[in-house]
Structure 1
Amino acid sequence: MKVFDRILGIVSLMMLAVLVVPGIAAGNASEILVSVGGTKVTAADLETAVRSSPFAVQFNTLGSQEQAALRGDLLKRLVALRLLRLEAAAQGVEKSPEFRSEIVEYRTSQLYRSYIQKLQEQLRIPEKDLQKMKEEYKGRADALAAAKASWLAERFKVLRLRSLQTLREKQHVVFYEDRIREGIGSDTLLMQGDKIAIRYGELVKEGEYPKLPDVEWIKEQLYQRAELLIFSQAAADDGINLDAKITAYAQERLPALFVEKLEQQWVPNDETMKKYLQNNPELAHIPARWHVGQLVTSSYAQAVALKKRIEQGESLFTLAGRYSIDPYGRAHNGDMGWFREGEGNPKIELRLKNMADGGLSDIVQTPQGYHLVTVLERRPGKTRNYAAMKDKIRQSIIDEKLAAYLAKLQQKYPVDWKVLANNTTKDLKGE
């Protein structure tokens, strides 16, 4: 599910999928929670997402309501991903050379890991050596663990190199290092075996360098790539079957690659982002913040009386602890913590902007009562330049575009929420 998490991080699906889904408890694995374009998301799919999520370790420590809320959020994410996967398939992304190449590379890397693991499993510390370590590092668990790891690492290095040499001979691998010179083409063969080959273009992309890179660096890339292919081919020859794992990866990678392509369309260059910032200048604004002290009364007369006492030297905070009708303020002796510009009552914010730190405001009336406020400290707002804003601007464009895109996809691939019959007409924008 790593690709699942990566998509969510890139496109902020949790922000975009704002449909209010009630808390969802664990159910029967076969229970259908939602249908997306005729495909089904089951309770088993949801539980897989829960187990693979970043907060999986802490999940069982949460209360039942918190667990249900998280399941609801994850279900929204699964729906968004399912919509993207359906559209990616409809547009033929899975048939593209780029996608096919990624699947081949994934298969190769997984075969390589399988073979390396097989080699590692061959190593065992002899009992006499292990006993010697235990005696030498008695009572020092960390040192013993380090000694065992060092022993295994040294032996594995020897085993890996010996196995690599044996497999090179078995697979009839030949290198053509002498072909690495100025004028080399992307199709130039640099290594060949019975079932594997490496061409220059696999190591250095065409046009990536204006001239031939350092030859020793190219050789290093060549031998690293060769080791990957040799071990992965050995794993394939041993009959290691990764079909289920590769299929699962392909299902996850498909929407991720599709989103990457959409991002390139939505944010093709700097000019797009600069224009977006011009139309949304508030993005560059960092709002002011104030650390506020406050006393709230239920009557104007009491506010006048308390204001006079403060002006005569009594502490607003002491009086707030005794008289404030605001529960939080009274419990914290008037210390309200930090407020961000735009999040509070406009009347009070106006006073905060125009008063000196440590000063006392006039009486401000709001629906909550009559307020006396003071500023303990402040952090002025500022405007960031374009260079400092590029990542935020890009993400804002993507979030905005994707929200609208998901809404359109839901019209193309109807979403039927089995888990909440009363909300089946709502879409991912909360309409």
Structure 2
Amino acid sequence: MLGRDFVLSFNRNAYRNDTTRLRIMNDKKDQVTVTVYRASGSEVTKSNERSAIIEHHLRTTCQQTFTTGDCIVRITSVQEVRMTVLDIMDGEIFYFVIPLDKAGKEHLISTSLMYGNFTCDLITIYPATEFYFSVDSHTDVTFANKSRFCNHGKCHVPVQHENALLQLKSSKDMTGMKMTSNKPCVMSCGGVVSNGRIFTNQLPSIGMYGISYQTWPTQFQGFVSLTSRCNNTHVHVHGSSNQTIDLDHGGHTDVTVLAQEIVMISSDKPIMAIQMWSMRGVIHRLTLLPAATVNHTCADHVQPTKSPLCLCPCPNTASYSLPADLDSKLQKLRELSVNKSALSSTRRRKHSAYDGRTSAQGIGIVGVTLLCVVVIFIIVLDIPNLLEQYQAIRQNLTGNASGHFDEQCAPRFLWRRSKLIHVLKSESSAAISNADTDKGDC
């Protein structure tokens, strides 16, 4: 999970050959600041790094705090990074580190372990943080190095400093116990095995619970611990054996996961899932991140109560009446209507926008000139033919080959033309000959 601000705890009683490491995936190689605090919240060391993969041997990093308490490691970065806590020797991930922007004020404790004692680390992010616990069924819970105020099974523990540690210990499984705080905090829970080594994993806040999970395939058989947030939660498990489990608020159950098996888990209400397995005598715990989260309260999942059906007889016919002021409303709508043809947008569609740029004027002049040149060129090509046609028409009208009009011939021409028309109508060729002979030729 990507983030810019993280915090985790490391127990000072880890044995000497401990190989637990913090691995930071800094893909953008920007500055990452790693600060170590004592359990009281006082700063011990600070370092800045820019490598793509940053690893810290937690025992070496926290060795200066071994005589004064547990170790708190705060990681801040400029760009988003991804972090895991792992064991180099066993090659198995202990848990993913959840960024502080996902921290919450409500947690359900989960310390299920095959054997050993149980412990939880609560890390403050802000000063003046107050924790509240319900310890009705966990009367043997102790709060290390902190004073508590309990009344009728309700315990109140104030912590004054930020980046400080409050540790809970019990010989009984504390799974299902609820913790609330006035400010967001981080919780890691696990158990202490016989050789003194502590295995914890970071628990999500109640707001990060989901309704769909998938286990990781491991080399050895293990189980997944399911803890419910709400009452009457129905959980469906799909794996080598399918089963349905009902859980109430704070209730939990363990489901067996075979080696190399992937188990699909779904529920109708938010739950938390933690996968565990044993490898080489070491118990590993991995908080599963949900494929789908639902940041709701349990009241959001309560089915609404249906009202009883109306038993009154319904009429067979139904009448509908229009409102009395319908005409006035329609008249107002007509008054508010706009004539589209009078809109400026409509008028602008029919007018070309003026462009006074010299380049635009030059392009226009060149275009008009080309059009005119084409028309004039076509006319010039036809001028000789027009002149010849004009000469032929004039010659036909004057009867003179030279094209000049003869005053003396004009009357004769007109006479001959009328005579010719008369002869044609009578279809007498002889009359034409006599007329030509009598009047003579011009």
TM-score range relative to shorter protein: under 0.3
Q: Which has the higher Rg, Structure 1 or Structure 2?
A: 2
TM-score, normalization by structure 1: 0.19
Higher relative contact order (CA 8 A, sep 6+): 1
TM-score, normalization by structure 2: 0.18
